[in-house]
Amino acid sequence: MDLDALVAQASEILDAAAEPFLEGHRADSAVSKKGDDFATKVDLAIERQVVDALTKATGIEVHGEEFGGADVDSPWVWVLDPVDGTFNYAAGSPLAAILLGLLHDGDPVAGLTWLPFTGQRYTAVAGGPLMKNGVPQPPLEHTELAESVIGIGTFNIDSRGRFPGRYRLAVLENLSRVSSRLRMHGATGIDLAYVADGILGGAISFGDHVWDHAAGVALVRAAGGIVTNLAGEQWTPESRSALAAAPGVHAEMLDILRRTGNPEDY
């Protein structure tokens, strides 16, 4: 596969999807999902548009957040999140994105992250470099946590599950002792793209959805960053969390996570 050609084709398709994305800002909930999650009519329409166009243009099937599709363990598969940061999008915040990753035997070999409201377009193929609006970016350098802005996922203190709210709060507390520059953007894919771009030194995702992570993992790795799960194991489509960071920051954040203890103890 010519990854650069595939990314070029996919870029044109996401550019076309950016128009309805911009027009649909503040869209109401159309479909209720698990818990308090939901999808807007824009999520549904963009997924249909992008899936149809990608399949016709590239011959590679798509796994989307809203309608599923090809298995993520297929030899080649696009993974799509039509609106990353749906709560932000519906509320009118500009922190929302379109995420598209390409997996080859489970390995993220290309990623595209479009932020239509801010005009940022990130692409990368395995081996780098990270491209921002078509311009190659320098690789990430070794950085220290104390000097970094860190993204972290939102939470309810009383929530349970794999990463209880009180565990997440403990992680936040322990990170703050080293870096007080913590941010909750409410959009996992944006956090990962910003790690790749050096805007964030690192980011933690407590989520387990491959469509939230695939594009960003490809971007971060292409930029020279490190992505694992919260236990420090290499990220795969089956991973149920993500820790992405620049060299140096990743090791410091992983050490803090390990000293915080086991999530089940909270």
First-last CA distance in the chain: 46
Q: What span, in angstroms and rounded, lies between the C-alpha atoms of 12 and 31?
A: 28
Residues 191/84, Cβ–Cβ less than 8 Å: no
- Whether 81 has a binding-site annotation, put simply, is yes
Is 212 assigned a ligand-binding role in the annotation? yes
- Compute the radius of gyration of the chain from its Cα atoms: 17
Per DSSP, helices labelled H in the chain are 3-23, 41-58, 86-91, 165-176, 188-196, 210-222, 249-260
Inter-residue contact 112 to 100 (CB < 8 Å): yes
- Cα–Cα nearest to 219, from 82, 124, 84: 124
**Residue 205: strand pairing partners:** 242
Is 84 a known ligand-binding residue?
Answer: yes
Residue given tokens 């565990």 in the structure block: 167
Helix (H/G/I), strand (E/B), else coil: 8: helix
65 is in an annotated binding site: yes
d(CA 223, CA 205): 19
- The partner residues of 95 in beta bridges, in order of sequence, read none
**Phi, psi torsion values for 65, nearest 5 degrees:** -60, -40
- Binding residue positions: 65, 81, 84, 212
- Binding residue positions for Mg(2+): 65, 81, 84, 212
